[in-house]
């Protein structure tokens, strides 16, 4: 089975930076798309950023120019570099990965989520 562990969240002042990581392990032949989502209290979970197997990226308008998604295929890891953080970025952040297993079965897996809190 595939296990996904997210980390890197914490408390930071507005204008500061954090780097989130999500590492996958287990029955992995190849990881295709990877993504970061976030969910603030009382709000729907929203897509923050995506990166495909070729390194092409896409961002929500609210984070464009401030956040950078990247991946390390050798480590089965996706990162989210978060700069110029704002109070409205406060949320639980979740990674999602598309995994092609050794039997060529495709599945999607969520990390457990990591809390990001931005203070003034």
Report whether 48 contacts 39 (CB < 8 A): no
> What is the per-residue pLDDT across 68-116, written as a single tens digit (0 to 9) for each?
999 999 999 999 999 999 999 999 999 999 999 888 889 999 999 999 9
Report whether 35 contacts 4 (CB < 8 A): no
> What is the per-residue pLDDT across 35-56, written as a single tens digit (0 to 9) for each?
999 999 999 999 999 999 999 9
Angle at 24 between CA 107 and CA 71, to 5 degrees: 100
């Amino acid at each position: 089975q595939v296990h996904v562990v997210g980390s890197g969240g914490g408390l930071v002042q507005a204008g500061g930076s954090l780097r989130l990581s999500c590492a996958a392990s287990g029955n992995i032949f190849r990881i295709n798309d990877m993504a970061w989502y976030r969910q603030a209290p009382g709000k729907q979970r929203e897509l923050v950023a995506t990166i495909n197997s070729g390194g092409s990226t896409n961002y929500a308008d609210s984070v464009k120019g401030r956040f950078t998604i990247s991946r390390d295929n050798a480590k089965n890891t996706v990162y989210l570099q978060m700069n110029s953080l704002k109070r409205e970025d406060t949320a639980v952040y979740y990674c999602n990965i598309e995994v092609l297993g050794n039997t060529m079965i495709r599945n999607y897996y969520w990390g457990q989520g990591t809390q990001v809190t931005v203070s003034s």
